[in-house]
Structure 1
Amino acid sequence: MKRICSLLVAGALVFPLVIPGAGAAEAAPATLEETAQTAAQAALTTGGAQSIQYAVWQDGEIILTGHAGDYSRTENRALTDDMLYGIGSVSKAYTAAAVLNLAEEGKIDLDAPVTAYLPDFTMADERYTDITVRMLLNHSSGLPGSTTANGFLLNDPDTLAADTLLEELSGETLKADPGAFSVYCNDGFTLAELVVEAVSGMDFDAYVRQAILEPAGLDNTWFPGEDFDQSLLAKTYLTAEDTRALPNETVGIHGTGGIYASASDLAAFGGQVWCTDAVLNQESRTAALADEYARGLWPEDDEDVVSYGLGWDSVHWYPFAYSDIQAAAKGGDTIVYHAGLVVIPEHNLAAAVLSSGGVSTYNEMAAGQMLIAVLAQQGVEVDQTAHTLPAAERAEMPAELMDYAGIYGDSSSAAIVTVTADGVLSTGNTPLYYYSDGSFRDENQIVMLKFVEEDNGQVYLWQKGYSSIPGLGEQPSSSYIYVKLPENPVSPETQAAWDARSGKLYLALNMKYTNINYPLALPAAALATDPVNMPGYMAFDRIVDANRAEGAAQIPSLYGRDWQNITMTEQDGVEYLSLMGGLYVDGTTIETLYGGPSSHSTIQADGYARWYQIGADAAGKTLTVQVPEHGGFAVYDANGANVAASWAWGDTSATLPEGGWVVFAGDPGVRFHLALTEAAE
């Protein structure tokens, strides 16, 4: 899952991660156990994980388990196979299984509209009635993306984000016609979670346990709020320097990313549910691993790590696809947990790699290396030959390619792309040179780009390359990374309204006091315009009117995910910003913290957080807070770095940095008592 903390203009193309000298995976050690440990250690080291746990399932049983790293940075406790990790978006495969199970029972038609099961689902876009259940599972619904402002909490099983999704979507528009293309979408799976509840008449967690977990024999898989030994959850940390572990992360959108499991249980889920008849029949399993991504717009060259099925990120995971072996993969990233699951149904194999910290893609690649070793023991070879870009030579560029120059963007950045007569493409960073196959390449030919005019009339920048990681192997990329943004003329008054907001900071109001964003960094949204070079745009969003800006990047796969549609409102002379389920207030209207010895702050009936700027009278003093049971406070310096956070760290005091901020959040009516004293010399 992608977390967006602020709106910023970026202007860099995405290059594959390539470590020089790394081609295919290094020569496999002598045993399966050594191969697995080497791969796990590579994922741990490369991703910077705290701990990692893995398991391999074959023919109905777990044949291998292991772990690497350290349980804690302060406690001397061994890692064990029964420890639990958040599996993040791998939860989507459980949601897909639940929907397919209901479909087998004749209770859901995948191609029926979502409104047939959720009559209260509405949007400010008449096309929403065309969204089908299938589109929720293959990411082609056209929904904006992720309404997750209160989706990631600490030690709080509140399902607020899921409970309010229908209300949040009621005022939103679609990014594309339903079914036009598949682009990663968290909200689709939260809607699918609601569909499961509506159709089954059961709580989502209870239905998944009854219909999926129990038939598959999974007894170490849990949901936030259930009664289980929470001391088994792997310790997590926000940074590499932290010595204080966080409270347990609780993701309140269970069908999107909230499940906990051990690696053994996750591998067994992959095997029992997707390789056998224990839960789903063969027809359902085959349907889930079909080329759903190919139903809509997609690059002609589909040699990519993303190839959506129903609930799966890839139904052609590499390097297995090079050997005509179908492997399905699903990765998951919360704020602090990361997961990878790879399943090979034709060989009754599944592997899971979970970590605290790290990167889900590395975990998936490690799982792949474990499965390659198992197949090798059976005499099945997987081709891991290193790949390079297709051969081409520097050439003279056709002059008409200069017409493709202009403003390009994805869902979180925008750049001015220039193309010169001598065949140089640039976004202001690394220059790319024209080659005889019509591509532009860097000097080392690590990556190639082409302009592609698609059937929908849009011009895309297509990127191809290969990423190699020592000990983990190679993964290909072939995707549209940018789309040419059309001119968007707006009135001078409308442009001026957005220009007046450029550079302003808007501070979060409706984030619950248990929200993980408080200890991460200042929870804020920043706006930016460039009226000279990008008139009609707010960063990467298309300006609609003086108070509304919407995403503009209609890009399949990943680069068009999570549109950040913005709505501005004003009340009593104060401006507010709404974004992805979050409500933010103009930071210039925040009052200064009282510098006297004692004061208090009370959360009002609206439940909004109370913000204060740290002025000269309070700066340098020690703030001590009597924190109520259902509340928390946090302190930030002038750069937005966290100084203290009561819910995360148990802090009750902090030295106040000048120009920084203090925020108090909690249930309506709770009161914080504050004391300011001179800091000790």
Structure 2
Amino acid sequence: MNWKKRISALALTLCMAVSLSVPTLAAETVRRPAPQARQQAAETAVGYAMQYGGALSASWALWEDGAVTLSQTAANIPASLKDAGHFAGMGAGVGGTLYGVGSVSKMYTTAAVMKLAEEGKLSLDAPVTAYLKSFRMADPRYTKITVRMLLNHSSGLMGTSGASAFLFGDDDEQAADELLDRLAGQKLRAEPGAFSAYCNDGFTLAQLVVEAVSGMELMDYVRSVLKPAGLENTVFSPADLASGKTDLSPAAVCTGDAAQRILPRDCVGVVGTGGMYAEAEDLAAFGGALTGTELLSAASTAAMAAPEYDRGIWPDEPLGMVSYGLGWDAVQFWPFEQNNIQCLVKGGDTLRYHAALVVLPEYHMAAAVLTSGGLSTYNELAAAQILADALAARGVKLDRTMPSLPEAKPAAMPAALTAESGYYGTTAQQVKLAVSTDGTLTLHQMSAAGVPDQTLTYYSDGSFRDASGAAAVKLVKESSGSTYLYQRSYTPVPGLGPVSTSDYVMVKMPENPVPEDQQSTWLTRLAGGLLPLAEKYTSQIYLAVADASAAAAGVSAPAELVPGYVGGMRIAGASELIYDLPVGRDGNDAVLQDGILTVNGSAYQLGGSVRELSARSGVRSTIQPDGYARWYRVGAAAAGKTMTAAVPENACFYVYGKDGTLKASSFLWGDTSAALEEGGLVVFAGDPGACFRLTYAS
């Protein structure tokens, strides 16, 4: 569900320079490639995607004019798993394997909404409150949110909230069921309709709208929409598999530690946002069906493909890999846009699966690329290559010239731009920006420690560029009064084409003076990290804690804080942080009370407040009535010992090494004991009342 999206939100750490001419339109007759050549070309493109993303396996399919014409699977089989039977038939066969499609699920939700609109049961421009009577927020502007705004990401909601949305082997949908309760305590971070920023909660709301209006569970209604096209191989896993609603092949496996041990099945409880599974053939056929009238009317599919990004604040420049339609991430894409061919794109990422659906409505073609591991951005590029090759087989040759920045020369800079110096940021990145009278702009990374400062020079088109010419930035004063840092860049990915960025990537952060000791206190509190308390014991977040620790281990210096802020959150007092920057996805408000930090409704323990684990055999740890997980740090007394835990029903433990890597889990791999390292962590999670009895051996 799009926990991706771009490779480098701000590519100012500039990759290799490109100096190519602006592409010209081309459509010429070529010799039709043999099917074997097309198959090999697809294998090569998907192979690049697997290589760059480190994918474990992949499945892909091409749909043309009503039929799947290309379908295959492949796997990078670890030596430790070759004899385990998990990859039988993969590597040389056709498809038939289920993959989580992540946020591509949003396209099924969008189709369901559009079908209800066709039937006159809802209006895209009616407020959400017309269909969800219990929808409330701690912000009076919520009544302005329309159904359309949920589908084009302009609702103004924070983005993603809620505990236990990502689970292993558990079809619990409490994350969706509790959304309205969570939103009741939240405010909006922007006026509804002001700008688009990727929003998962918006699509979970859309799921609830579908269910309220149709009177059916989302998947049941989606099946009724898909039935005319014979699309039966799309499921919510594992519920559909366990209930016997399908006889599909098992889902592709995922691994989760250094030893590449197999994980339980990936489950996303917010189904309409990111919880569906599909075979590549079925997903490609779904995309293909959206080019005709089997599922929806021509008016509905045209509305989905319309440039919704034109609504509200948006850069007045050519767009990159994000140009929202209804549901679609992009309604134009390289190399098709440059050849006057519309291309519709939707990518999806869970924590383990990655998906891409790319559709050419004019030619009635669609391609799907699904992987275990990897990144949906690479899958999108591979799918685009498969479609371009398929067009060549029809006699249409595309100009695939690498795009480049428009021609411009160094020029005298307007003196007024020096006033735009200051701090710029978004949810995940902050910089200190200085504009000098000599026409130079200097960027100092605050959130990415150790990155050298960059100096760019003013050019005649109003942009600032570095000597390589790989990227351009502009300072744009919007009608809202905010100044945005706009970036346009093209990053070549060998074998797959360019990753293009054209977006407002940051906004000037308003001054927020706070007492110096208040900011230092927040820094101290958060220095030890945040540990989840309210996640179900089956949650994937316990494994994600290890992934985050591994990423942090490579950072040599701490990030710097913008005065008055913690990351992109404004310090609003000794116990409150607020995100209200008008840019970026997944904003968070946070409140500290009784040592617990609540972030958009999810509770976390400050890492520095974790108690030391007792090293006495026979000690017990019991989950309290609040259901919060219990975290412990391994001290000198327990270090070097092997802990064995008697694990009760509906509960488990996780043990982390001193470097944060996950060493053992009773739930994921059936571990009953684990060697403890000083400085490591142990967490016990489960239903209230679950009691763990610990014994130790030296």
Length-normalised TM-score, structure 2: 0.89
1:582 is aligned to 2:605: no
Corresponding residue for 1:205? 219
Letter in 1 for 2:128: V
Conservation of the 8 A alpha-carbon contact between 1:200 and 1:207: yes
Which of 392, 398, 422 is equivalent to 1:382? 398
Q: Deviations over 1:354-378 (max 9, x none)?
A: 0111111111111111111121122
Letter in 2 for 1:551: Y
Which of 612, 626, 639 is equivalent to 1:619? 639
Q: After the TM superposition, which residues 163-202 of structure 1 pair with which residues of structure 2 at under 5 Å, given as runs?
A: 163-202=177-216
CA distance in 1, matches of 2:497, 2:520: 51
Letter in 1 for 2:73: H
Which of 550, 559, 567 is equivalent to 2:591? 567
1:233 is aligned to 2:251: yes
Corresponding residue for 2:479? 455
Which of 82, 101, 110 is equivalent to 1:75? 82
CA distance in 2, matches of 1:677, 1:492: 48
Corresponding residue for 1:629? 649
Q: Deviations over 1:223-278 (max 9, x none)?
A: 02112568621111236x44212111111111000010110000011012x11211
Letter in 1 for 2:265: N
Q: Per the alignment, in what secondary structure is the counterpart of residue 191 of structure 1? A: helix
Conservation of the 8 A alpha-carbon contact between 1:331 and 1:360: yes
Which of 133, 158, 163 is equivalent to 2:147? 133
Deviation at 1:498, TM superposition (A): 3.5
Conservation of the 8 A alpha-carbon contact between 1:99 and 1:196: yes
Q: After the TM superposition, which residues 428-507 of structure 1 pair with which residues of structure 2 at under 5 Å, given as runs?
A: 428=444, 429-490=453-514, 495=519, 498=522, 501-507=525-531
CA distance in 1, matches of 2:68, 2:481: 50
In the superposition, relative to structure 1, how do residues 220 and 183 fare at CA in structure 2: closer, same or farther (>3 Å)?
same
Deviation at 1:426, TM superposition (A): 2.3
Conservation of the 8 A alpha-carbon contact between 1:136 and 1:192: yes
1:215 is aligned to 2:228: yes
Which of 39, 47, 51 is equivalent to 2:53? 47
Conservation of the 8 A alpha-carbon contact between 2:642 and 2:696: yes
* More displaced stretch, 435-444 vs 104-113: 435-444
Corresponding residue for 1:599? 619
Conservation of the 8 A alpha-carbon contact between 1:72 and 1:235: no
Deviation at 1:113, TM superposition (A): 0.6
CA distance in 2, matches of 1:506, 1:470: 38
CA distance in 2, matches of 1:12, 1:300: 19
Letter in 2 for 1:663: V
1:247 is aligned to 2:264: yes
1:664 is aligned to 2:675: no
In the superposition, relative to structure 1, how do residues 532 and 368 fare at CA in structure 2: closer, same or farther (>3 Å)?
closer
1:552 is aligned to 2:580: yes
In structure 2, stretches of 5+ residues that fail to align are 24-29, 445-452, 553-557
Conservation of the 8 A alpha-carbon contact between 1:246 and 1:648: yes
Deviation at 1:19, TM superposition (A): 5.9
CA distance in 1, matches of 2:15, 2:526: 36
Letter in 2 for 1:78: G
Letter in 1 for 2:620: H
In the superposition, relative to structure 1, how do residues 360 and 532 fare at CA in structure 2: closer, same or farther (>3 Å)?
closer
Letter in 1 for 2:649: E
CA distance in 1, matches of 2:609, 2:572: 25
Q: Deviations over 1:25-52 (max 9, x none)?
A: 9x99763222211111111112211111
Conservation of the 8 A alpha-carbon contact between 1:524 and 1:584: no
Q: After the TM superposition, which residues 224-303 of structure 1 pair with which residues of structure 2 at under 5 Å, given as runs?
A: 224=237, 225-227=239-241, 228=246, 232-238=250-256, 241-272=258-289, 274-303=290-319
Letter in 2 for 1:383: D
Conservation of the 8 A alpha-carbon contact between 1:485 and 1:552: no
Corresponding residue for 2:63? 57
CA distance in 2, matches of 1:400, 1:21: 31
Corresponding residue for 1:38? 44
CA distance in 2, matches of 1:50, 1:531: 33
Letter in 2 for 1:167: D
Q: After the TM superposition, which residues 393-408 of structure 1 pair with which residues of structure 2 at under 5 Å, given as runs?
A: 393-408=409-424
Corresponding residue for 1:371? 387
CA distance in 1, matches of 2:301, 2:461: 40
Conservation of the 8 A alpha-carbon contact between 1:85 and 1:260: yes
Q: Deviations over 1:427-465 (max 9, x none)?
A: 223322222332211221111111111111111111111
Corresponding residue for 1:536? 564
Letter in 2 for 1:399: A
Letter in 2 for 1:332: G
CA distance in 1, matches of 2:516, 2:496: 53
* More displaced stretch, 385-394 vs 660-669: 385-394
Letter in 2 for 1:14: A
* More displaced stretch, 128-137 vs 405-414: 405-414
Corresponding residue for 2:696? 676
Corresponding residue for 1:88? 102
1:359 is aligned to 2:375: yes
CA distance in 1, matches of 2:323, 2:615: 57
Deviation at 1:522, TM superposition (A): 4.8
CA distance in 2, matches of 1:48, 1:138: 31
CA distance in 2, matches of 1:19, 1:266: 35
Which of 87, 107, 110 is equivalent to 2:124? 110
In the superposition, relative to structure 1, how do residues 589 and 373 fare at CA in structure 2: closer, same or farther (>3 Å)?
closer
1:306 is aligned to 2:334: no
Identity in percent: 48
In the superposition, relative to structure 1, how do residues 262 and 517 fare at CA in structure 2: closer, same or farther (>3 Å)?
same
Letter in 2 for 1:545: G
CA distance in 1, matches of 2:523, 2:49: 44
Letter in 2 for 1:569: Q
Deviation at 1:425, TM superposition (A): 2.0
Q: Per the alignment, in what secondary structure is the counterpart of residue 374 of structure 1? A: helix
Letter in 1 for 2:507: V
* More displaced stretch, 57-66 vs 416-425: 416-425
Conservation of the 8 A alpha-carbon contact between 1:508 and 1:524: no
In structure 1, stretches of 5+ residues that fail to align are 5-10
Letter in 1 for 2:619: S
CA distance in 2, matches of 1:589, 1:43: 42
Letter in 1 for 2:173: T
CA distance in 2, matches of 1:22, 1:75: 45
Q: Deviations over 1:357-406 (max 9, x none)?
A: 11111111111111111211222232211222122233444433222111
Length-normalised TM-score, structure 1: 0.91
CA distance in 1, matches of 2:390, 2:155: 38
Conservation of the 8 A alpha-carbon contact between 2:99 and 2:252: yes
Letter in 1 for 2:11: V
* More displaced stretch, 636-645 vs 345-354: 636-645
In the superposition, relative to structure 1, how do residues 524 and 350 fare at CA in structure 2: closer, same or farther (>3 Å)?
closer
Deviation at 1:518, TM superposition (A): 1.2
Tell me the matched-pair count.
657
CA distance in 2, matches of 1:471, 1:587: 43
CA distance in 2, matches of 1:307, 1:458: 21
Q: Per the alignment, in what secondary structure is the counterpart of residue 612 of structure 2? A: coil
1:653 is aligned to 2:673: yes
Q: Deviations over 1:554-580 (max 9, x none)?
A: 12xxxx00002112222xxxx110114
Which of 317, 330, 342 is equivalent to 1:326? 342
In the superposition, relative to structure 1, how do residues 285 and 217 fare at CA in structure 2: closer, same or farther (>3 Å)?
same
